[in-house]
Protein backbone atom coordinates (compact mmCIF):
# COMPACT_ATOMS: atom_id res chain seq x y z
CA UNK A 1 0.00 0.00 0.00
CA UNK A 2 2.85 2.37 0.92
CA UNK A 3 4.70 1.54 -2.30
CA UNK A 4 1.53 2.12 -4.32
CA UNK A 5 1.02 5.51 -2.64
CA UNK A 6 4.62 6.57 -3.30
CA UNK A 7 4.28 5.48 -6.94
CA UNK A 8 1.08 7.50 -7.30
CA UNK A 9 2.79 10.58 -5.87
CA UNK A 10 5.69 10.18 -8.29
CA UNK A 11 3.31 9.91 -11.24
CA UNK A 12 1.43 13.01 -10.07
CA UNK A 13 4.67 14.94 -9.58
CA UNK A 14 6.00 14.00 -13.00
CA UNK A 15 2.73 15.00 -14.64
CA UNK A 16 2.82 18.39 -12.92
CA UNK A 17 6.26 19.14 -14.32
CA UNK A 18 5.88 17.38 -17.69
CA UNK A 19 6.06 19.72 -20.65
CA UNK A 20 7.47 22.72 -18.77
CA UNK A 21 10.47 24.76 -19.90
CA UNK A 22 12.10 27.28 -17.58
CA UNK A 23 13.54 30.24 -19.47
CA UNK A 24 15.58 33.20 -18.34
CA UNK A 25 15.45 36.15 -20.72
CA UNK A 26 16.73 39.70 -20.97
CA UNK A 27 14.26 42.38 -19.87
CA UNK A 28 14.07 43.90 -23.35
CA UNK A 29 12.18 40.74 -24.37
CA UNK A 30 9.33 41.12 -21.88
CA UNK A 31 6.69 42.18 -24.42
CA UNK A 32 7.98 40.13 -27.36
CA UNK A 33 8.31 36.94 -25.32
CA UNK A 34 4.94 37.41 -23.63
CA UNK A 35 3.40 37.25 -27.11
CA UNK A 36 5.62 34.36 -28.17
CA UNK A 37 4.63 32.42 -25.06
CA UNK A 38 0.95 32.78 -25.98
CA UNK A 39 1.51 31.67 -29.57
CA UNK A 40 3.78 28.78 -28.58
CA UNK A 41 1.41 27.44 -25.92
CA UNK A 42 -1.55 27.73 -28.30
CA UNK A 43 0.38 25.66 -30.86
CA UNK A 44 1.57 23.22 -28.18
CA UNK A 45 -1.28 22.89 -25.64
CA UNK A 46 0.55 20.24 -23.61
CA UNK A 47 3.60 22.46 -23.13
CA UNK A 48 4.19 25.43 -20.83
CA UNK A 49 7.00 27.95 -20.67
CA UNK A 50 7.91 29.81 -17.49
CA UNK A 51 9.90 32.96 -18.25
CA UNK A 52 11.95 34.98 -15.79
CA UNK A 53 13.01 38.42 -17.04
CA UNK A 54 16.00 40.40 -15.77
CA UNK A 55 19.42 41.72 -16.68
CA UNK A 56 21.55 39.37 -18.77
CA UNK A 57 24.51 39.64 -16.41
CA UNK A 58 22.47 38.75 -13.35
CA UNK A 59 20.97 35.74 -15.15
CA UNK A 60 24.46 34.66 -16.20
CA UNK A 61 25.58 34.69 -12.57
CA UNK A 62 22.48 32.77 -11.48
CA UNK A 63 23.13 30.04 -14.07
CA UNK A 64 26.75 29.66 -12.98
CA UNK A 65 25.53 29.35 -9.39
CA UNK A 66 23.15 26.52 -10.28
CA UNK A 67 19.85 28.16 -11.24
CA UNK A 68 17.80 25.41 -12.99
CA UNK A 69 17.02 27.18 -16.27
CA UNK A 70 16.60 25.27 -19.52
CA UNK A 71 17.15 28.15 -21.96
CA UNK A 72 19.05 31.42 -21.71
CA UNK A 73 18.21 34.40 -23.92
CA UNK A 74 20.73 37.16 -23.38
CA UNK A 75 20.89 40.74 -24.65
CA UNK A 76 24.60 40.09 -25.20
CA UNK A 77 26.12 37.19 -27.11
CA UNK A 78 29.18 37.51 -24.89
CA UNK A 79 27.43 36.06 -21.86
CA UNK A 80 26.17 33.04 -23.81
CA UNK A 81 29.62 32.40 -25.26
CA UNK A 82 31.13 32.57 -21.78
CA UNK A 83 28.62 29.98 -20.56
CA UNK A 84 29.64 27.73 -23.43
CA UNK A 85 33.31 28.08 -22.45
CA UNK A 86 32.44 27.13 -18.88
CA UNK A 87 30.49 24.06 -20.02
CA UNK A 88 26.97 25.18 -19.14
CA UNK A 89 25.41 25.00 -22.61
CA UNK A 90 24.06 21.98 -24.49
CA UNK A 91 24.02 23.75 -27.87
CA UNK A 92 26.21 26.26 -29.66
CA UNK A 93 25.28 29.89 -28.93
CA UNK A 94 23.14 31.43 -31.67
CA UNK A 95 22.14 34.98 -32.53
CA UNK A 96 18.39 35.56 -32.38
CA UNK A 97 18.27 39.33 -32.98
CA UNK A 98 20.03 42.69 -32.85
CA UNK A 99 18.71 45.32 -30.44
CA UNK A 100 18.18 49.04 -30.95
CA UNK A 101 18.11 51.84 -28.36
CA UNK A 102 17.01 55.43 -28.05
CA UNK A 103 15.58 58.13 -25.82
CA UNK A 104 12.13 57.72 -24.26
CA UNK A 105 10.21 60.48 -22.49
CA UNK A 106 6.66 60.89 -21.22
CA UNK A 107 4.40 62.91 -23.51
CA UNK A 108 3.26 65.12 -20.65
CA UNK A 109 6.80 66.50 -20.28
CA UNK A 110 6.03 68.58 -23.39
CA UNK A 111 9.61 68.32 -24.62
CA UNK A 112 10.47 67.66 -28.25
CA UNK A 113 12.18 64.26 -28.33
CA UNK A 114 13.21 64.88 -31.94
CA UNK A 115 15.90 67.21 -30.63
CA UNK A 116 17.86 64.03 -30.05
CA UNK A 117 20.64 64.01 -27.50
CA UNK A 118 20.64 67.79 -27.16
CA UNK A 119 17.46 67.39 -25.10
CA UNK A 120 19.62 65.91 -22.34
CA UNK A 121 21.14 69.36 -21.72
CA UNK A 122 17.73 70.96 -21.21
CA UNK A 123 17.56 72.30 -17.61
CA UNK A 124 14.20 70.52 -17.21
CA UNK A 125 16.04 67.20 -17.57
CA UNK A 126 17.50 66.52 -14.13
CA UNK A 127 17.62 62.72 -14.12
CA UNK A 128 18.50 60.40 -17.02
CA UNK A 129 17.75 56.70 -16.49
CA UNK A 130 19.81 53.93 -18.06
CA UNK A 131 20.21 50.24 -17.26
CA UNK A 132 23.20 49.42 -15.08
CA UNK A 133 26.13 48.96 -17.50
CA UNK A 134 27.84 46.63 -15.03
CA UNK A 135 25.48 43.79 -15.93
CA UNK A 136 22.96 45.10 -18.49
CA UNK A 137 24.08 45.13 -22.16
CA UNK A 138 21.65 47.94 -22.98
CA UNK A 139 23.28 50.02 -20.26
CA UNK A 140 26.64 49.42 -21.93
CA UNK A 141 25.20 50.54 -25.28
CA UNK A 142 23.68 53.65 -23.65
CA UNK A 143 27.06 54.72 -22.25
CA UNK A 144 28.73 54.01 -25.61
CA UNK A 145 26.22 56.22 -27.42
CA UNK A 146 26.61 59.06 -24.91
CA UNK A 147 30.39 58.91 -25.20
CA UNK A 148 30.29 58.63 -28.98
CA UNK A 149 28.30 61.87 -29.26
CA UNK A 150 30.41 63.62 -26.57
CA UNK A 151 27.55 63.91 -24.08
CA UNK A 152 28.65 61.50 -21.37
CA UNK A 153 30.81 63.93 -19.37
CA UNK A 154 28.16 66.65 -19.74
CA UNK A 155 25.35 64.52 -18.28
CA UNK A 156 27.20 62.02 -16.09
CA UNK A 157 25.93 63.58 -12.85
CA UNK A 158 22.33 63.28 -14.07
CA UNK A 159 22.49 59.54 -14.71
CA UNK A 160 20.55 57.09 -12.52
CA UNK A 161 20.76 53.35 -13.13
CA UNK A 162 18.10 50.67 -13.04
CA UNK A 163 18.79 46.99 -12.45
CA UNK A 164 17.58 46.30 -16.00
CA UNK A 165 15.78 48.09 -18.84
CA UNK A 166 12.34 47.35 -17.39
CA UNK A 167 13.25 49.14 -14.16
CA UNK A 168 14.77 51.95 -16.22
CA UNK A 169 11.41 52.44 -17.95
CA UNK A 170 9.67 52.36 -14.56
CA UNK A 171 11.92 55.18 -13.33
CA UNK A 172 10.68 57.38 -16.17
CA UNK A 173 7.05 56.31 -15.75
CA UNK A 174 7.10 57.05 -12.01
CA UNK A 175 8.85 60.39 -12.34
CA UNK A 176 12.03 59.18 -10.62
CA UNK A 177 13.77 60.12 -13.89
CA UNK A 178 12.86 62.69 -16.54
CA UNK A 179 14.02 60.68 -19.54
CA UNK A 180 15.48 57.24 -20.21
CA UNK A 181 17.60 55.38 -22.72
CA UNK A 182 15.57 52.28 -23.58
CA UNK A 183 15.43 49.51 -26.17
CA UNK A 184 12.92 50.07 -28.94
CA UNK A 185 11.39 46.72 -27.96
CA UNK A 186 10.00 48.35 -24.81
CA UNK A 187 9.29 51.79 -26.24
CA UNK A 188 7.25 50.32 -29.10
CA UNK A 189 4.95 48.34 -26.78
CA UNK A 190 1.33 49.49 -26.61
CA UNK A 191 1.68 50.65 -23.02
CA UNK A 192 4.83 52.77 -23.42
CA UNK A 193 3.96 54.01 -26.91
CA UNK A 194 0.69 55.42 -25.62
CA UNK A 195 2.27 57.48 -22.85
CA UNK A 196 5.69 58.32 -24.27
CA UNK A 197 7.71 59.49 -27.27
CA UNK A 198 10.78 57.74 -28.62
CA UNK A 199 13.88 58.87 -30.50
CA UNK A 200 15.84 56.01 -32.08
CA UNK A 201 19.64 56.27 -32.02
CA UNK A 202 21.44 55.56 -35.31
CA UNK A 203 23.06 52.13 -35.14
CA UNK A 204 26.59 53.53 -35.48
CA UNK A 205 26.33 55.47 -32.21
CA UNK A 206 27.15 52.30 -30.28
CA UNK A 207 28.50 48.81 -30.80
CA UNK A 208 26.05 46.29 -32.20
CA UNK A 209 23.71 44.87 -29.56
CA UNK A 210 24.09 41.24 -30.60
CA UNK A 211 21.60 39.13 -28.68
CA UNK A 212 22.21 35.41 -28.32
CA UNK A 213 20.79 32.27 -26.77
CA UNK A 214 21.53 28.65 -26.06
CA UNK A 215 19.90 25.54 -24.68
CA UNK A 216 21.50 24.94 -21.30
CA UNK A 217 22.77 21.63 -19.95
CA UNK A 218 19.84 21.59 -17.51
CA UNK A 219 17.42 21.55 -20.47
CA UNK A 220 19.21 19.15 -22.81
CA UNK A 221 16.68 16.36 -22.15
CA UNK A 222 13.65 18.67 -21.96
CA UNK A 223 11.55 18.30 -25.14
CA UNK A 224 9.56 21.46 -24.39
CA UNK A 225 12.74 23.51 -24.11
CA UNK A 226 13.92 22.11 -27.45
CA UNK A 227 10.57 22.95 -29.03
CA UNK A 228 10.77 26.54 -27.83
CA UNK A 229 14.38 26.79 -29.01
CA UNK A 230 13.18 25.85 -32.51
CA UNK A 231 10.11 28.08 -32.26
CA UNK A 232 12.29 31.19 -31.84
CA UNK A 233 13.38 30.92 -35.48
CA UNK A 234 9.86 30.27 -36.80
CA UNK A 235 7.94 32.66 -39.03
CA UNK A 236 5.57 33.57 -36.18
CA UNK A 237 8.43 34.39 -33.82
CA UNK A 238 10.26 36.42 -36.48
CA UNK A 239 7.14 38.52 -37.04
CA UNK A 240 6.94 39.25 -33.32
CA UNK A 241 10.62 40.21 -33.17
CA UNK A 242 10.07 42.62 -36.06
CA UNK A 243 6.96 44.05 -34.42
CA UNK A 244 9.03 45.13 -31.43
CA UNK A 245 11.85 46.68 -33.43
CA UNK A 246 14.42 43.90 -33.33
CA UNK A 247 16.63 43.41 -36.36
CA UNK A 248 17.11 39.80 -37.43
CA UNK A 249 20.46 38.33 -38.45
CA UNK A 250 19.54 38.05 -42.14
CA UNK A 251 18.18 41.59 -42.43
Mean pLDDT of 142-168: 97
- pLDDT mean over 75-92: 98
Question: At residue 69, does pLDDT exceed 50?
Answer: yes
Listed range (12-21, 57-66, 217-226, 232-241) with the worst mean pLDDT: 12-21
Q: What is the CATH number of domain 2-98+210-243?
A: 3.40.190.10
**pLDDT at site 18:** 54
* Identical topology for domains 2-98+210-243 and 101-200: yes
DSSP, res 92: -
* Mean pLDDT for the stretch of residues 136-156: 97
pLDDT at position 250: 67
CATH of 101-200, one of 3.40.190.10, 3.30.1440.10, 3.40.190.150, 3.40.50.300: 3.40.190.10
Model confidence at 249, pLDDT cuts 50, 70, 90, reads confident
Which DSSP string corresponds to the chain?
A: -HHHHHHHHHHHHHHHHTTEEEEEEEGGGHHHHHHHHHHHHHH-TT-EEEEEEE-HHHHHHHHHTT---SEEE-S-HHHHHHHHHTT-BSS--EEEEEE-EEEEEEGGG---GGGGGGGGGSTT---EEEE-TTT-HHHHHHHHHHHHTT-HHHHGGGEEEESSHHHHHHHHHHTSSSEEEEEHHHHTSHHHHHHEEEEEPPGGGS--EEEEEEEBGGGTT-HHHHHHHHHTTSHHHHHHHHHTTPBPTT-
pLDDT tier at 131, thresholds 50, 70, 90: very high
Tell me what the mean pLDDT of segment 139-143 comes to. Answer: 98
Listed by start position, the domains of the chain span 2-98+210-243, 101-200
Tens digits of residue pLDDT in 3-44 = 333 334 333 433 344 599 999 999 999 999 999 999 999 999
Q: What does the pLDDT average to over 112-122?
A: 97
Amino acid sequence: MIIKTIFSLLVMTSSIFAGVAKITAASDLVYAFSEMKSVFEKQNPDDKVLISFGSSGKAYTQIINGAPYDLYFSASMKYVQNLEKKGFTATKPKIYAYGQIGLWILKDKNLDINRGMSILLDPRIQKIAIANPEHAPYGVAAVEALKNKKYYKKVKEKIVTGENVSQTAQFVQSGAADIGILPISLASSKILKKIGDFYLFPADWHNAITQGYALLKHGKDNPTAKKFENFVSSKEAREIFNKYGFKLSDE
